[in-house]
């Protein structure tokens, strides 16, 4: 794996995660092949990766390169064909219930209100809803849904539903969050606004986030590091530390450092033949 350093112009450097040697989450020689014989599809790997506590790591790669497969393996929902995954020093060999997970399609149930959906995550974990009242209120406020807590999902826009799903994924105070293209289906303006909420929540709560996206811009705006994934079978051959201070608002995209990162990453994907 190469650590690529990208010129960050005159922007102050915050390279907190550039030299991660062992992480909260460690992958060693992880690869996944679906099926056997002539039908086998080598989807992902082999990959070594260390993710540090509190970092925001994006997996950026083309469609079909194995990003979701990797997320499912880290969540313990899919076993690797080869290799090991450790979380906080423990081997991941079954579903991880402490973590927060969010996918492109949210998992809100239609018969419960926003609050009811958030509470469902607590009930499934046998946690007392009463102990989490303040946290639910804080989460709803931070994504601007405080006035919609008692509405059902069908009464919300797509963006509002994704915001509610963030609260759902974070309510039990997970230290690790796996977010697989949670903004993929939203329009550009809503995406922008939820990115900002997500960054605010991450800065405030400091969970370790692994975030999947196709968007170079989104990855640069949100991440402390970006793992660039090659076309299938996905391998991580470049890790880029984004040395821009947080919070990164809309205007950061006009900075020369941001544009430099964008060009360098576009160049990488051009090299893979996917741009």
Ligand X SMILES: Nc1ncnc2c1ncn2[C@@H]1O[C@H](COP(=O)(O)OP(=O)(O)OP(=O)(O)O)[C@@H](O)[C@H]1O
Residues at the site binding Mg ion, with contacts judged by CB under 5 A: 68
* Residue 34 vs 250, nearer CB to ligand X: 34
* Residue 67 vs 163, nearer CB to ligand X: 67
- The binder of ligand X chosen from 65, 118, 239, 244 (CB under 6 A): 65
Which residues are registered as beta bridge partners of 4? 240
Query: Total residues at the site for ligand X (CB under 6 A)?
Result: 12
Strands (E) across 134-206 are located at: 176-180
Residue 252 interacting with ligand X (CB under 6 A): no
Confirm if 199 and 231 have CB atoms less than 8 A apart: no
Binding piece for ligand X, criterion CB under 6 A, among 65-73, 144-152, 160-168, 170-178: 65-73
Residue 63 interacting with ligand X (CB under 6 A): yes
Residue 168 interacting with ligand X (CB under 6 A): no
Rounded to 10 degrees, what is the CA torsion of 122, 123, 126, 131? 50
Query: Cβ of residue 273: shortest distance to ligand X, in angstroms?
Result: 16
Binding mask 12-51 for ligand X (x = CB under 6 A): ----------------------x------x-x--------
Query: Cβ of residue 43: shortest distance to ligand X, in angstroms?
Result: 3
Binding mask 224-243 for ligand X (x = CB under 6 A): --------x-----------
Residue 213 interacting with ligand X (CB under 6 A): no
The DSSP H or E segment spanning 123 is helix 114-124
Query: Cβ of residue 263: shortest distance to ligand X, in angstroms?
Result: 22
Spell out the long-range contacts of 258-266 with Cβ–Cβ below 8 A and sequence spacing 24 or more.
Answer: 258/220, 258/221, 260/6, 260/7, 260/8, 260/9, 261/6, 261/8, 261/220, 262/216, 262/217, 262/220, 264/4, 264/6, 264/7, 264/240, 265/60, 265/216, 265/219, 265/220, 265/226, 265/228, 265/240, 266/216
* Distance, C-alpha 122 to centroid of its chain: 21
Query: Cβ of residue 71: shortest distance to Mg ion, in angstroms?
Result: 8
Residues that bind ligand X (CB under 6 A): 34, 41, 43, 61, 63-69, 232
């Amino acid at each position: 794996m190469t650590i690529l350093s990208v010129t960050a112009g005159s922007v102050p450097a915050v390279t907190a995660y550039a030299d991660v040697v062992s992480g909260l989450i460690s992958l060693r020689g992880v690869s996944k092949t679906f099926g056997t014989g002539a039908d086998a599809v080598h989807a992902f790997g082999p990959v070594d990766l260390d993710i540090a506590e509190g970092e925001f790591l994006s997996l950026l790669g083309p469609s079909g390169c194995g990003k979701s497969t990797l997320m499912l393996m880290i969540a313990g929902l899919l076993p690797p064909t080869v290799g090991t995954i450790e979380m906080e020093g423990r081997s991941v060999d079954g579903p991880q219930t402490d973590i927060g997970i969010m996918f492109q399609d949210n998992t809100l149930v239609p018969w419960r209100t926003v609050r009811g959906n958030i509470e469902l995550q607590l009930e499934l974990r046998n946690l007392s809803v009463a102990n989490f009242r303040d946290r639910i209120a804080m989460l709803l406020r931070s994504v601007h849904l405080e006035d919609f807590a008692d509405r059902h999902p069908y009464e919300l826009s797509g963006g509002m539903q994704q915001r509610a799903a963030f609260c759902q994924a974070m309510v039990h105070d997970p230290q690790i969050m796996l977010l697989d293209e949670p903004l993929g289906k939203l329009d550009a303006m809503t995406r922008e606004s939820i990115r900002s909420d997500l960054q605010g929540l991450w800065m405030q709560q400091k969970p370790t986030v692994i975030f999947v996206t196709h968007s170079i811009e989104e990855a640069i705006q949100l991440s402390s590091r970006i793992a660039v994934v090659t076309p299938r079978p996905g391998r991580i051959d470049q890790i880029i530390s984004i040395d821009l201070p947080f919070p990164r608002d809309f205007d950061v995209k006009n900075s020369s450092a941001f544009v430099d990162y964008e060009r360098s990453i576009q160049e990488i994907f051009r090299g893979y033949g996917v741009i």
